[in-house]
Each structure stands twice: as structure tokens, then as C-alpha cells.
Amino acid sequence: MADKNHIPGIIYLTAKGTAFVSPSADISIEDKRDIFIDKKNTMGAMTGDTVLVELYKREISLRLGGGSIVSGNRREGKIVKILEKGRRIFSGNIYSYGSYLCVEPDNLKVNGIIRVKGDVTGITGNDKVVCEIISMPMDRKKDGEAVVIEVVGKAGDASADITAMMKACGIVPEFPDDVLEEAAGIPSELDADTVEKYLKKGRRDLRELTIVTIDGEDTKDVDDGVSIRMLKNGNYLLGVHIADVNEYVKPGSALDREAYDRATSVYLADRVIPMLPRSLSNGICSLNVGVDRLAFTVMIEVSPSGAVVNHEIFESIIKVKYKISYEKLYALLEDSDPVLLEEYKEHAEDLLMMRNLADSLNWRRQQEGYINFDFPETKVVLDAEGNTIEVKPYTLTFANNVIEEFMLLCNRVVAEDFHWRDVPFLYRVHEDPDPEKIGELARIVKNLGYSLKGKSGGDIHPKSFRTLLDAAKGRSTENLVNLLTLRSMRKAVYSHECLGHFGLSMKYYTHFTSPIRRYPDLMIHRIMKLIINGDFTEDIYDFYAERMPDIAKQCSAMERRAADAERDSIDIKCVEYMKQFEGETFIGTISGITGFGMFIVLDNTVEGLLRYSEMRGRYEFDSDYMVARNIQSGRVFHIGDSVRVILAEANTVMRQIEFVPANEHAGDSRRSTKPRRSPRKSSGGKSSFGIPKKGKKKAVNKNSSRKRKRR
């Protein structure tokens, strides 16, 4: 039973062994922030277990720049009881241990020797498997036990690795039969009679409006289209038109239940697992060119300076006139590509108007203090067989920003509108940073010559972080300051409470614009339609008010699962790609420094570990200045420094990339992704430095190529 000091929730372990507990949605407590659990207090619980936490708080009082003080507390606790074991499925690689077969987990949150029990017929070393834990003693010195559920291929094969990872975390590509049957019963197009029926019910006919979709070249599930025109008063009239998925996914239907369980589409490096069957996501729901589609429209009047003057929200029928990719939009407006100028001559004026409006919206958000981290995302290029042929930074230009600015504006307008209607709703929230992390950030950046200013009484505004990032821009410490600031932030989640979005510096924010691939958007569409059509009764209010906390928890958990899977799939493909370059020399950049080594990122975004044990001399990690210092020579390495390294091993089984040092520190030499043959490479194909000892650290990619940024 929950009380103010004992709270049930779901535990999530980190790779460091620490954990966070997300309080259960159905308990009545004022503070539902995640609870930190030190690794010595996890009581052997595993990710997904329902646990009971004994709560305590650590008081924090930290001084920032300008003499201001941030005070608060950090919610911590210890596990006192495992109430219910969660999903204990994991993927791993089979190996022999004496007379036993054991499995080495891919997930670092499952550790220790795990013996394979049950029928092992046909299972051999180096198999990639999906297993279920049947015994995991609290005493880590004792062996765990697991049974093999499925052999999916050989360890080190990227496709098998991704399949195993996906199955281990519960991501199922196939849809149940009842869901497919329901989807098959939905017409693939809107016929004239159906359109007329909807128009008689009050939908607005916008099929003559010039609507464009701007998306990736290969995007099949198109959620949004936009329109624009200049009003006589000099303001813009921006139309954001979103697929009306709710007309096909009815509450309580098989489609709705499955969409709730999935909560999001998952964009892996080599495949997409949609939230809805493709006949809907790529078909009747997708805003394809030249066909009638049901939509939810938000018309927003915006001043030239980016201020919202007025807005209107209604159901519509639209017909997209044309589409343009991000790449083409950039080439058209930035490079004045003559072929594209001819192809889009009827629409070039509108597209330029969109760019100008997006610039105004971005400028206004800058004045409000939004925080923007400029970390490169990773783009994995595959051949027809799914093999990785290139890894490179994902290029983001103003063309991407046009749509991002419009969607951010639309989400904010919708959130504020329905917040004041006082109805059950889902918000996208990003709470203020943890006071302890703010203090740690302030201490380190002070040593670097910067100041993080806060207000007396404990408040800190996003502008303080924006000012800090701007001060570091273009300097040698820019990467470090960006990284440290990012680490001080909480994760954005879904909530039934309107708690604001710190990173965007917005008081009201939701997710409305992607109902094909996100369940939260689908859910708030449902509520909005009921209200707009006058069908929101008291019973419906009570029903959704009771369910919203659970829906928010489910959507946040599934988003976290999808993000982890996307990141893992990128890691797998990056290691696969880099395997061919073992023994080659690269110039990389230090992206992280720890007590055991430095993380090196190449300019194709691939990251690996350079251990101190592979370097000459003894090194110490100075956490006050975030540097590595050679005790004998005094040489100091900073985040952002260039280093010359040899790729010693790209271990596709362990998903590790290990570097060893080349001859000299690269200093300020120009970085290059193109490998150069190391003069130290031996005839055996390995660097003369030798292969580093295998550790538990995976290759890390902080960013993955996603359809759009998660805000």
C-alpha cells in the first residue's frame, strides 16, 4: 500500500547499475517525478519489475553565478520489495563455459554468468538467441539461469542482432489477425458519396486550397501538410493540416487496442515497425498527393514578427496539391536550382513565404530562450540487401526547420487552447532540471570560465542555459558545454498535467501533429473531436480523466523503449560498417572523458573507446575540469580535442568499437573520415598495439536518425 514514504512503481536500470523508478499512475501522490535508486539499493530488481520504494529526499542548496542560489531536493529511495516481476526477456550470444552453454546478454542491465537450461538441442556457440530468465539470484556471485525462446541467427550478423534486440524488448512487427481483419475492412480511398456525407456533417471542404507536404524523400506515412497565404493586414495565415486517423481507429476497436499497446512507430536502422497497419499508415490515413483525405486543420494567423494573432481548429477534407522533399526545398531556395525552379515555379513564392515565416518563428523562440543542442544525428545508408554501405551525419537545413517550426507552433496553440477548456488532455512536458545537476553544471562551467545565472529562490530560466550555450559557441569548449548542459536536463515525457516544456521555453505544449505514428496525438484528436462536435458529456469527461494518467505512462514507456531500440539498431549497424576498417588510422574528436578512458567520435558520427591502459603513461580523470591528465608528462586532454587513433577492433558480437592511440596527438589537424592505412599494421591484420581487453562498454551513439526530433 502506498503512503508518502512508500511508493510502488516500475524500475528502469541504467548501464551504470543505478536505476529510476517511475511511480504508478494509479496512486494519489503530489510528486510523481522519477525516483533515483543507487545501485546498492536495487535489491536485485530488473528493468520492468514493479517494486515498492522506500522514499527519502536529499536537500540540496547550490550557488550559481551572480550569487544566486538553487535549492531543492533530489528524490531518492531504496527498493524494499519486488511486487511483481516484469518482462524478463533478453537477447544475447551463446558461448561454452566448461561443460555448460551460457548466454552473454546484449543488454548491460543484465549481468553475471547466465547458464542455459532446458532443451539445448541444435543450439551452438555463437548463436544469436532470445532468452527468458528463470532465475537471477540477488547474490551476483551465483549464476543465473535462462531458457532459449528462439535462435534468430548468428552473433555478429547485423540483421539477426537487430531482430533479436527487437524481440527482446517486446517490439513485434506482425499485427494480430483481428487487427488486420479490421484494417482490411476500411476502404482504401474516399469515394464521392463518402465525401458528400462528411461535408453534410459539417466538415469544411479545403480541397481547392494549395496544400504541400514537406518530408523525407522516402517517407510513406505522411501525417501533415501545410498551406500559407498573406492576409491584407500583412499577417500570415498558416494552415496546418493533420491526418484525421480517428475516423478509422475507433475507441475500443482492435486497431485502437493495438495502437495503444505499441504507442509509437519504431524507426530502426534497417526497418520500420509501424504503430498502425500499412494499409492505414501508408494508405487511407497518409496525406498523399492528389487524393481526398480527412484532416484536422489548425488555421493560425501570425504576425510578421512571429506572434500568434488568432487561430481556429476544425475538421476538414483536403487534397494535397504537391509534395517536396527537404533536399529539394533546400536546393530550390538556397541554391536556386534551375530544374527545380522550373518544376516548382507555381509554388516558389509560397515556399519562400514559408521560409520567411519559419525564420520569424525561430527568432521569436530564441528571444523566449529555447534551448537547442547542435549534436549531429547519424544516418545509416543501406544497400538493397540491408548491408551498411555508409554512415554519415544526417544533414539538417532550414528546410527541415520550416516544418519543425510550424509543428512546434501548432502543438503549442492546440495545447493552450484545450488547457483553458479544462478537459482531460495529454501534454508533452519537460520539467525543470534537477537542482543537483544544475549545481554540478555551474561548478564545472565556472572552472571553464563561464557563468550560469539563476534567480534567487531556486528558479532558473531556459534563457540562462541559452546564454551559456551562446557564450561557448565557436570556442574550444563548445562541445563540452553542450554535452554537460544536455546531461543536466530531465527527459521529456507525456503527462495528464500541463507542467510546461523547459527546453522549448513553452508553458503549454502537446503532441498533435503525428497521429499516424504516435498514440498521444491520436488520443488528443479524439478528445478534441468530441468537444468540437459537442459530444463531450460528463460521463466521457470522467472516463478520460480517470484514464489519462495511465495513457501518459504507457506512451512515455513505449517512447523510451522505441528510442532505446532505435539507438541500439544504429550502434549495431555502425559496428558492422566499421569492421572493414580495422587497423586503419583516423583523426577523431574526444566526445567524452571518464575514469577509464576517452570516447572518440569520428566525423561520420561513429563513436568508440580509447582506454587509458592502451596509452603511454598513467592518466587520471579530473572531474572538476572534465579533463584527462597524464600524471608523468602533464599532457591534458579535453573534450573537443582532436586525436589520431587506430581502429583496433569493431566487435560485431559485443557491439564494441575500440581504438588505440596512433603515433602522436593530432592537435588542431583537420579531421578526416577517410581512413588511412596505419604504418603499424602487421601482416596478421591487427594493429601492433594489440587488441584491447574486452570490456563491458558498448559503442555509443548519442543521436540516431529519426523521422523528426522528439520534443
Q: Which three cell numbers stand for residue 118?
A: 532446458
Q: Which three cell numbers stand for residue 96?
A: 561454452
Whole-angstrom distance, CA of residue 363 vs CA of residue 126:
54
pLDDT at 457 over 70: no
> Is the Cα dihedral 462, 466, 472, 474 positive or negative?
positive
- Length of the chain in residues, anyone? 711
Give the mean pLDDT of 12-23. 80
Whole-angstrom distance, CA of residue 587 vs CA of residue 602:
7
pLDDT reported for residue 30:
63
Instruction: State the residue for C-alpha cell 534551375.
Output: 338
pLDDT reported for residue 669:
37
The 8-class DSSP code of residue 63 comes to: E
Three-point CA angle 523, 377, 471, nearest 5°: 100
pLDDT at 333 over 80: yes
pLDDT reported for residue 139:
62
Q: Which three cell numbers stand for residue 390?
A: 555508409
Question: For residue 10, how far is the Cα from the chain centroid?
Answer: 20
Q: Which of 226, 218, 249, 201 is nearest to 519 (CA)?
A: 249
Instruction: Write out the E strands in 446-529.
Output: 493-495
Beta-bridged to residue 77, according to DSSP, are 37, 55
Backbone angles phi, psi at 268, to 5 degrees: -85, 170
pLDDT reported for residue 444:
85
End-to-end CA distance of the chain: 35
In a 10 Å sphere around its CB, with 0-12 CB exposed, 13-18 middle and 19+ buried, how is residue 117 labelled?
Answer: middle
Which whole-number Å values give the CA distances from 621 to 155, 308, 612, 662, in the listed order? Answer: 35, 50, 10, 21
| Number of other residues whose CB lies within 10 A of the CB of residue 396 | 15
pLDDT at 150 over 90: yes
pLDDT reported for residue 73:
57
Instruction: Output the DSSP codes for 2-29.
Output: -BTTEEEEEEEE-TTS-EEEEE-TTS--
pLDDT reported for residue 213:
98
pLDDT at 404 over 70: yes
| Number of other residues whose CB lies within 10 A of the CB of residue 480 | 25
Roughly what angle, to the nearest 10 degrees, separates helices 348-368 and 398-419? 60
Find all residues with CB under 8 Å of 698, minimum gap 6, and list them: 15, 108, 571, 654, 655, 656
Beta-bridged to residue 378, according to DSSP, are 393
Give the mean pLDDT of 41-70. 69
Backbone angles phi, psi at 292, to 5 degrees: -70, 135
pLDDT at 293 over 70: yes
pLDDT at 697 over 50: no
Report whether 130 contacts 89 (CB < 8 A): yes
Buried b (16+ CB within 10 A) or exposed e, 567-593: bbbbbbbbbbbbbebbbbbbbbbbbbb
Helical H segments across 109-173, by residue range = 158-168
Backbone angles phi, psi at 116, to 5 degrees: -90, 125
The 8-class DSSP code of residue 279 comes to: I
Whole-angstrom distance, CA of residue 279 vs CA of residue 405:
29
Three-point CA angle 346, 347, 348, nearest 5°: 105
Strand 204-205 to 308-319 pairing? parallel
Whole-angstrom distance, CA of residue 111 vs CA of residue 129:
16
pLDDT at 671 over 80: no
Report whether 60 contacts 439 (CB < 8 A): yes
CA dihedral 419, 421, 426, 428 (to 10 degrees): -20
Band (pLDDT 50/70/90 cuts) for residue 453 is: confident
Which whole-number Å values give the CA distances from 332 to 236, 320, 362, 399, 589, in the listed order? Answer: 22, 20, 21, 10, 34
Report whether 418 contacts 425 (CB < 8 A): yes
**Three-class DSSP category at 495:** strand
Predicted model pTM: 0.84
pLDDT reported for residue 99:
86
Question: Which amino acid, residue 212?
Answer: V
Find all residues with CB under 8 Å of 325, minimum gap 6, and list them: 214, 215, 216, 217
pLDDT reported for residue 43:
86
pLDDT at 188 over 80: yes
Own/partner long-range contacts of 537-545 (Cβ < 8 Å, ≥24 apart): 541/423, 541/424, 544/423, 544/424, 545/424
Find all residues with CB under 8 Å of 75, minimum gap 6, and list them: 31, 33, 34, 35, 36, 55, 57
Lowest-confidence region among 66-80, 571-585, 668-682: 668-682
Which whole-number Å values give the CA distances from 600 to 445, 590, 640, in the listed order? Answer: 22, 5, 9
Whole-angstrom distance, CA of residue 491 vs CA of residue 505:
14
What does pLDDT average to over the chain? 87
Report whether 299 contacts 404 (CB < 8 A): no
Question: Which amino acid, residue 241?
Answer: H
Note the pLDDT tens digit of each residue in 266-290. 999 999 999 999 999 999 999 999 9
Q: Which three cell numbers stand for residue 634?
A: 602533464
Backbone angles phi, psi at 274, to 5 degrees: -75, 155
Whole-angstrom distance, CA of residue 465 vs CA of residue 462:
5
Which whole-number Å values give the CA distances from 611 to 16, 596, 648, in the listed order? Answer: 18, 6, 11
Instruction: State the residue for C-alpha cell 551460457.
Output: 102
Whole-angstrom distance, CA of residue 200 vs CA of residue 451:
61
Band (pLDDT 50/70/90 cuts) for residue 62 is: very low
Beta-bridged to residue 94, according to DSSP, are 103
Report whether 52 contacts 62 (CB < 8 A): no
Band (pLDDT 50/70/90 cuts) for residue 549 is: very high
Instruction: State the residue for C-alpha cell 524478463.
Output: 88
pLDDT reported for residue 2:
60
**Three-class DSSP category at 452:** coil
Backbone angles phi, psi at 373, to 5 degrees: -95, 125
Domains and CATH numbers, the chain: 6-84 (2.40.50.140), 89-168 (2.40.50.700), 177-429+502-536 (no CATH), 573-677 (2.40.50.140)
Note the pLDDT tens digit of each residue in 84-138. 888 788 899 999 988 889 998 887 566 668 899 998 899 999 999 999 988 776 6
**Three-class DSSP category at 75:** strand
Whole-angstrom distance, CA of residue 188 vs CA of residue 363:
42
pLDDT at 401 over 90: yes
> Is the Cα dihedral 694, 700, 705, 708 positive or negative?
positive
Band (pLDDT 50/70/90 cuts) for residue 390 is: very high
| Number of other residues whose CB lies within 10 A of the CB of residue 631 | 10
pLDDT reported for residue 677:
37
